[in-house]
């Protein structure tokens, strides 16, 4: 039987099955633009109206950019920036801005990521931590998973004594649809190692963040 499912859904299924890293290179030329034209028509617009003529290709380029985290090679990302040091006090990087897309509505959610870890003789260059955040943010995401992925990545690459990640974000899919009060934020956290097992360590981390989260 001939399949009548629109191309855009087939692409989506292909991404789900292939997993991370199999998007842009497998794209069919023009398929994205055609899908955007269909959306424009479905919402009652005329895709051939002058103001909309360039929209499909602009949206295409934008989505490639906003999802380029799939294309990032994590080894290259941190290459040369993991240092052996004697330092064993908590490292905290607060207020890392991020922008992501919720996978349920393809609308932005955005806010700040706060990262802390207790090194076991190995640290990551400070400038790389925002890059790690961006690698996971520039994908279709849910906030809980993004939070856990950042924490697990740092755990796997640095083998720290413990790591904690707290993400505070606003979701446009909530704000724009009036599901929740405007300006409501969602806070998620992921704590591993001593950040989970030691209340003292966790409280030290949270004390570092308190100023931000109470604003």
List residues near Zn ion by CB under 5 A.
Answer: 102, 104-105, 173
- 3-state SS class at 93: strand
Catalytic residue (choose from 105, 152, 170, 180): 105
Select 102 or 140, whichever has its Cβ closest to Zn ion: 102
Q: What minimum distance in Å lies between the beta carbon of 16 and Zn ion?
A: 17
Alpha carbon 22 to its chain's center: 17
DSSP state of 58: H
DSSP letter for each residue of 133-176: HHHHHSSEE-HHHHHHHHHHHHHHHH--SEEEEEEEEEEHHHHT
Select 12 or 208, whichever has its Cβ closest to Zn ion: 12
Catalytic residue (choose from 173, 180, 204, 208): 173
Q: Where are the beta strands (DSSP E) in 15-151?
A: 82-84, 91-102, 108-118, 122-124, 140-141
Q: Where are the beta strands (DSSP E) in 3-87?
A: 82-84
CB 158 within 8 A of CB 167: no
Q: Give catalytic status of residue 200 as yes or no.
A: no
Select 172 or 206, whichever has its Cβ closest to Zn ion: 172
Q: What minimum distance in Å lies between the beta carbon of 98 and Zn ion?
A: 16
Select 51 or 183, whichever has its Cβ closest to Zn ion: 183
Q: What minimum distance in Å lies between the beta carbon of 188 and Zn ion?
A: 14
d(CA 138, CA 77): 14
Q: Give catalytic status of residue 173 as yes or no.
A: yes
Q: Give catalytic status of residue 105 as yes or no.
A: yes
Q: Give catalytic status of residue 71 as yes or no.
A: no
Q: What minimum distance in Å lies between the beta carbon of 140 and Zn ion?
A: 10
Q: Give catalytic status of residue 182 as yes or no.
A: no
Q: Give catalytic status of residue 143 as yes or no.
A: yes
Which sequence positions are flagged as catalytic?
102-105, 143, 171, 173
């Amino acid at each position: 039987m001939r399949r009548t499912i629109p191309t855009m859904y087939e692409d989506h299924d292909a991404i789900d099955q292939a997993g991370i890293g199999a998007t842009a290179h497998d794209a069919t030329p023009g398929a994205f633009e055609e899908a955007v034209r269909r959306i424009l028509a479905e919402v009652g617009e005329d895709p051939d109206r002058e103001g909309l003529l360039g929209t499909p290709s602009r949206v295409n380029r934008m989505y490639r950019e906003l999802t380029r985290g799939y294309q990032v090679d994590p080894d290259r990302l941190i290459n040369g920036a993991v240092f052996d040091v004697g330092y064993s006090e908590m490292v905290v990087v607060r207020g890392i801005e991020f922008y992501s897309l919720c996978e349920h509505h393809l609308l932005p959610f955005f806010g700040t990521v706060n990262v802390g870890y207790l090194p076991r003789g190995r640290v990551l260059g400070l400038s790389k931590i925002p890059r790690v955040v961006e690698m996971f943010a520039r994908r279709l995401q849910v906030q809980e998973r993004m939070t856990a992925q950042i924490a697990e990545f740092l755990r796997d690459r640095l083998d720290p004594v413990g790591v904690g990640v707290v993400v505070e974000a606003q979701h446009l899919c909530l704000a724009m649809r009036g599901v929740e009060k405007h300006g409501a934020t969602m806070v998620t956290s992921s704590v591993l190692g001593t950040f989970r097992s030691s209340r003292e360590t966790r409280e030290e981390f949270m004390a570092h963040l308190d100023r931000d989260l109470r604003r």
